[in-house]
Structure formats: structure tokens, C-alpha cells
Amino acid sequence: MGGTRNSKTHLKGTLGNIQIRSKTLQEVETNQLTQQIDIMTHTIQRERERAAELELRARLFNFGKYKSDDQEGMFDSLGVKVEEVYRGCVGDSEANLSTLQMLKAIESRLDELLEKVEIVPKERLVLAERAKEKERRFRLRDEKMHQDKQHQEERLKRALERAQADVKKTVSHTICLNTTPLQSYSPKLCAKSVCNITLSLDAYRLTEILHN
């Protein structure tokens, strides 16, 4: 009896581990699938915009706006971009494909991914979208923190520049006071001058420490 119970417990634990691994694998596949779809969608949209731009330029070319060499250069540039997208989405190919063939392969790959999405359970897609949105919020937060840090550094830099300017101005004013006759000093004026010099030196030391 004890051996049978142990076997059942071991079997339940094994099944539980298999279910957990299967669920984790499905979530990973779903995330990868949604990311690939996003990349492909943006890529195709970008290439369609490029195609529309080239079509417009081709029309202008027909009206004599562009020369033949300019048009050839534009098509060569487009071919290079399409090849980069093809390698990123489909992979390297030994066949020497034309630009149009690569575009068709990219669209075919997108259709394939969209078909896979349709058979993925809705719950998994919702979880993947939530994870993607969470990642987007983290990225925006990091960007905002970076911008805030830059603004703070700029404000500190301006404050240090103003402090240095005040130090130079105060020291210059103190030197001018020292050239006046000793009889013109009053105890209150002397105390004020000493206080100004002390504050100026403190500010100067602060700027030196921050710069170092």
C-alpha cells in the first residue's frame, strides 16, 4: 500500500511539472509570436510607405523631375532595405531573390504568423498583451527618469555657473572695499563684509567639490 501511494504521489508530481512546463512554454511561444507579428506588421507598413513614395517619384520621373541615374539609385537603396528586412523576418536565403520576391516572402510570413495567432487561446493572447504593455510602461518610465536626470544635471550646472559668477563678483567687490580708507569702516560694515567673504568662500568650495 505504501509503495502504491508513493507511486501515485510521484505520478501527480510529474504530471504537475509537465503542466507547468507546458504552460510556460506556451507563454513563451505566444510572446515570441506576438513580437514577430508586431515586427512584421511595422515592417510591411514601412515598406508600403516606401513603395508609395517610390511610385510618386516614378511619376515625377516621367514628367522629367528626376534623371535616370537618380531613379536607379532609389531602386538600389530600396532593394538593400528590403533585403535587410527579409533577413530579419524570414532568414538568410541561398537563392538570389529579387526585391519583389523578397517582399512577397515577407508578406507570406506575416500571413503565416497571423494564422497561428487565430488558433492561440484568447487568454494567452490577453496575457501576452498585458506583458507587452507592462514592458512598454517600464520603458517609458526609464526614459522619463533619464530625461529628468538630464534636466536636473542641467539645472545644477546653471546653478554652479551662477554661484561661480557670484563668487567672482563678491570677491571683486571686497577688493574694492579694501582700497577705501580705514576710517570709513564701521563695525557693522566690517561684520557684513566678513560674512559675505565667508559665504562666497563656502560657495566656491561647494562648486569645487561638485566639479571634482
pLDDT at 55: 67
Q: How many CB atoms lie within 10 A of CB 7?
A: 10
Give CA–CA dist 195/59, Å, rounded: 77
Q: Kindly give, in sequence order, each residue whose CB lies less than 8 Å from that of residue 156, ignoring residues fewer than 6 positions away.
A: 210
pLDDT of residue 174: 54
Q: Cα–Cα–Cα angle for 25, 42, 72, nearest 5°?
A: 135
Report yes or no: 125 and 133 within 8 Å, Cβ to Cβ.
no
Contact 54, 78 (CB under 8 A): yes
Question: CA 78 to CA 97: how far, in whole Å?
Answer: 14
Show the CA angle centred on residue 154, arms to residues 149 and 156, nearest 5°.
95
* pLDDT value of residue 182: 46
pLDDT of residue 129: 77
Alpha-carbon dihedral sign for residues 109, 130, 123, 25: positive
pLDDT of residue 165: 74
The pLDDT of residue 154: 87
Question: pTM of this prediction?
Answer: 0.33
Extents of the domains making up the chain: 1-120, 148-212
Q: Which pLDDT does position 2 carry in this prediction?
A: 47
pLDDT averaged per 10 residues in sequence order, the chain, 212 residues: 54 60 69 75 73 66 57 70 78 73 80 76 75 84 88 85 71 52 49 53 53 53
- Interatomic CA distance for residues 116 and 152, integer angstroms: 48
